[in-house]
A and B are shown apart, each in its own frame.
Chain A
Amino acid sequence: MINFDYVKPSTQKAAIDALNKDASSQFIAGGTNLVDLMKRGVVSPEKLIDITNLPLKNIEQQKGFIRIGALALNSDVAEHELITKKLPLLSQALKAGASPQLRNMATVGGNMMQRTRCTYFYDLTMPCNKRQPGSGCGAIKGYNRMHAIFGASDKCIAVHPSDMCVALTALDATVVISSSKGDRRIPFADFHRLPGNNPEKDNNLQRGEMITAIEVPDNDVFTKNSLYVKIRDRASYAFALVSVAAALDIKGNTIVNARLAMGGVAHKPWRLTAAENFLKGKTISLENFKQAATIAMKDAKAYEHNNFKLRLAPNTIVETLKKVSGIT
């Protein structure tokens, strides 16, 4: 690892000032992805700003939403009583990610900022437009079994690896971002980006900004019928081939509202808006779920090695909807 300078500010203002002062500086919190990337030489910041002293770890009930500090640990969020009771989908998604040791280190903000696990991004001997813009994409004609089927470009077909972010997308969360200019809020679904011509940009966070909290609507109607299903190569501790976060507002036998998002299929958590709209007002039935899955898969495009996702993804949508609505 190339050496770097290290500072540990004790206030948010000092941390943001330090970031603005030095163009090659970066925040570090859990470090589970950043230290890995630095060891491999994928990134080499000249200064790390340790933000773990900042008071951003609280998980609290506010009017109409639950506010989760950006530095709350993945394990603490997953086990927190407010989350297990009111946002079980988020708790399930967090527990489906990484390992207990990593969840004890990783923060909510860091989880959002983690980079893709595309092997071409990590392999310095291969081209990668995300790591080195303009160098090409090793995955498009390479071994692309783990890669995107939605929203990819001819520059990049990597997927975002987070489980937590899939749940937060389905739950209509809001990201609170602070900078020297003050705070701004953006919908969670607008935080991450599609690759387009600039796959080096994973998200819409600007230089000089810090994620300080996530606000998740405390929407009781979705609490009861929600589920995160993750399909992976082994039973635990692996990235998703495909995952589905589903939350249904059910009255009698009718779906009043649906929230659906997928992981492992795109450069960002993939919200299934068209399928949600289709399900609105429909009765609970296998036929409707199959149709919703077909609608969700409309623009899917596979590459040489991830063709299986074109069947796995709709099947996982149907299975998740069946389980969450209680039909067998």
Chain B
Amino acid sequence: MSQEKAFIKDESLHNARRKFLKQSSALTALALAPPSLIKAADGNLDEKASALFEKQSLKIEVNGIQHELSVEPRVTLLDLLREQLHLTGSKKGCDYGQCGACTVHVNGKRVLSCLSLAIMQDGKKIRTIEGLADGDNLHPMQQAFIKHDGFQCGYCTPGQIMSAIACVNEGHANNEDDIRQNMSGNICRCGAYPNIVDAIMEVKQKGGPL
């Protein structure tokens, strides 16, 4: 589905929801609505109540591109990246902050996008795996992962690479133990750990900004 179509579909759903809220009988609302909505409906505050389902505006920069979006408060940064911006490089592994596959950089710091609410990132700069390569030239960490065979199935790799870059930038890649300790938030079920450590060691030794 093209981005444009996705947008239209999304908007029509949104409008339908508003219409439903305005027209629905008290009984239907009672069955479907959260308590505060019911309270608001009691006071004929339908318009105000719909705010609960209303999207809020959000300005973020992702990989150097400015986006003005509207999101429901419950949308995570990971879902925003994958579903709205179609940047599917960041992976949904566990979705509960345990695996690290969703790791991205927010204002230069590595964080878990699955446990970050998109609306809380207003005004921030996001960097994802898609923002690393310069055209056909891969980022040094991407090159090192390929050279050292730092993956097998590849599912955890975007998170591993984003975390690895931060690990070096933080000054936490001084030796093998240091790397293992500071990469422990990224799980690799294929067990590519020794090769991931080699890749990070090489990038660290070469130096230079990442």
Contact = CB atoms under 8 A, between A and B. Distances in A.
B85 interface: no
Interface in B77-107: 95-97, 100, 103
A2 B74 contact: yes
A102 B185 contact: yes
Interface stretch (A32-40, A80-88, A287-295): A32-40
Contact of B112 (A101, A236, A237): A101
Given A3-B74, A4-B74, A236-B180, A105 B111 contact: yes
Contacts of A50: 119-120
A100 interface: yes
A40 B35 CA distance: 19
B155 interface: no
B37 to A, nearest CB: 9
Contacts of A6: 56, 73, 117, 119
Given A31-B117, A36-B115, A52-B120, A100 B170 contact: yes
A49 to B, nearest CB: 11
Interface residues of A, number: 32
A1 interface: yes
A52 B111 CA distance: 15
B172 A100 contact: yes
A5 interface: yes
A32 B97 CA distance: 7
Nearest to B120: A50
Contacts of A48: 73, 117
B117 A236 contact: no
Contacts of B204: none
A105 B112 contact: yes
A104 B109 contact: yes
B115 A35 contact: yes
Given A46-B34, A236-B180, A1 B74 contact: yes
Top-10 shortest CB links A-B: A99-B185, A236-B184, A6-B73, A237-B184, A1-B74, A104-B109, A35-B115, A3-B74, A46-B36, A101-B112
